[in-house]
Amino acid sequence: MQNDRYLRNIKLTELGEYGQEVLFKAKALVVGAGGLGCSALYGLACAGIGNIHLLDHDVIELSNLNRQFAYTPSDLTKLKASTIVQKLTQFAPDLKISFDAVKVTDEWLDQYLSIYDVVLDCCDNFFATYMIGDACVKHKKKFITVSAVAWRGQGYAVLPDSPCHRCLLPECPEESDAPRSADYGILGAVAHTFGSWQATEAIKALLDLDKEQGTRLTSYDAKIGRWKTMTRSYSQQCKFHQSVIHK
């Protein structure tokens, strides 16, 4: 570990050399390399997360560039995963950064999820979020999920001892009910804000810094400059969570 590189991290009272070593030994899985994923990945790399793995099968399009700052016009039609991993490796050569250019599936998660300490959901659809969330609860993995569209975003952490994603919303909504940036637009800075927030929450989860982290949902409306926090709690109607925690 290059201590001089992470000196500003180490100077944080809550982190120090021991905390930085924890981060350097940590393994993070990031699903999605879009607007959220770009900021989340760089946030993890800046913090010195020693092993980062990315799942993304998409290619870079011109309409991505208003929010996906890791890519340039010369990258158009290239795979997002290989492109951003190459750039991250140049940025932080002391870290192990890898990728699979595949869609996330139940089979992939069942086979590989046990490797990782924290999972960041940077996807743009409910189905993938619920698939990842279900797998993280089953495997008792720390899970950070975020969504952002237009001027707004929201996110929360699910920890092994916290309410799960289905405690908040028991059934996966239909995709037609989900507001999409393709329809409503999104300010690039909003995506960056929540990708960075997501990386911060992942780092806190790895260090066990926030004992109430798994009981909150945080939202931000950039148009009026307002952050809000609501409390998440266990739901007695959440049969999924009950079935998992009682196994």
pLDDT per position as a tens digit, 69-95: 999 999 999 999 999 999 999 999 999
- Phi/psi of residue 110, nearest 5 degrees: -60, -35
Q: Could you read off the pLDDT of 227-241 as tens digits, one per residue?
A: 999 999 887 767 655
Q: Which two tokens stand for residue 65?
A: 């560039």
- Domains annotated for the chain, with CATH where assigned, are 7-245 (3.40.50.720)
As a whole-number percent, the residues of the chain with pLDDT over 70 amount to: 94
C-alpha 167/C-alpha 242 separation (Å) is 10
Q: Which of 37, 219, 218, 191 is nearest to 122 (CA)?
A: 37
In degrees and rounded to multiples of 5, residue 222 shows phi and psi of -70, -25
Average pLDDT score over residue span 16-27: 97
